[in-house]
Amino acid sequence: MDIAILLFDGITPLDAIGPFEVLGKLPGATVKTVGKSKGEVRTKGQSLAMIADYALTDVEKPDIVVIPGGPGADALAEDTGVTGWVARAHETTAWTTSVCTGALILGGAGVLKGLKATTHWRAMKDLQSFGAIATDQRVVREGKVVTAAGVSSGIDMALMLAAEIAGDEVAKAIQLGIEYAPEPPFDAGHIRDAPQDRIEMVRSGLSRP
């Protein structure tokens, strides 16, 4: 079972690493990090590097595709080299997934037309422009297409997928192994309850290292 995780400049690392930690533990799973070309990519602020071990052309028919988000995803949604690969891979995948603004790349590939989908709150209008029916659910499944909202929801998406693939007990064992039992110090993770000044702090780039 080949799992391809897209990497690119301007990625939000947890969007990729969260699903990697879960899906990589599935029996028989092989995780391949892919990029437009092999080599290093960096977060928007250049502070963290990640390595794409394969070029897109090296991994043409993965069983599962995971498209992370981040500031760099907006431009990739218009990059036909990337969206073309996503569209071709989607034809034969068992599962096609995104985390955060990775949904925009799925949208650019034509995967989300007419489907309910979610993404980070800042990109909901952009998601609609690709013909998706935007919803603020944390994880949305439409057939073999699964989209997750902002950053941390990628872990939830991956656990749901693990249960679909290997059963609830395997997924629960993976959850136990990564000790995923969140108890956040604040009830501040959803935009519906956020004051405008806090929203503006996020929009200004505070949370984009």
Q: What's the token pair of residue 85?
A: 């690969």
Measured CA to CA, the distance from residue 147 to residue 137 in angstroms comes to 9
DSSP string of 68-129, one letter each residue: --STTHHHHTT-HHHHHHHHHHHTT-SEEEEETTHHHHHHHTTTTTTSEE---GGGHHHHHT
Whole-angstrom CA distances from 41 to 34, 56, 59, 78, 85 are: 10, 14, 18, 19, 18
Percent of the chain with pLDDT over 90: 92
The DSSP letter of residue 175 is H
The candidate with the shortest Cα–Cα distance to 108, out of 65, 142, 74, is 74
Whole domain around residue 139: which residue ranges? 2-183
Domain for residue 205, yes or no?
no
Mean pLDDT of 41-69: 96
Instruction: Please give the distance of CA 169 from its chain centroid, rounded to a whole number.
Output: 24
Q: What is the pLDDT of residues 174-207, one digit of tens each?
A: 999 999 999 999 999 999 889 999 999 998 875 5
Domain for residue 84, yes or no?
yes
Amino acid at 102: G
Residue 91 — φ and ψ, nearest 5°? -60, -30
- Which residues are identified as catalytic? 100
Does 38 score more than 70 pLDDT? Answer: yes
Residue 57 has what pLDDT?
Answer: 95
Number of domains in the chain: 1
Domain for residue 195, yes or no?
no
Q: How far apart are the first and last CA of the chain?
A: 33
Is pTM beyond 0.85? Reply is yes
Mean pLDDT of 110-132: 97
Residue 206 has what pLDDT?
Answer: 57
Mean pLDDT of 51-63: 97
Q: What is the pLDDT of residues 129-158, one digit of tens each?
A: 999 999 999 999 999 999 999 999 999 999
Q: CATH no. for residue 175?
A: 3.40.50.880
Domain for residue 21, yes or no?
yes
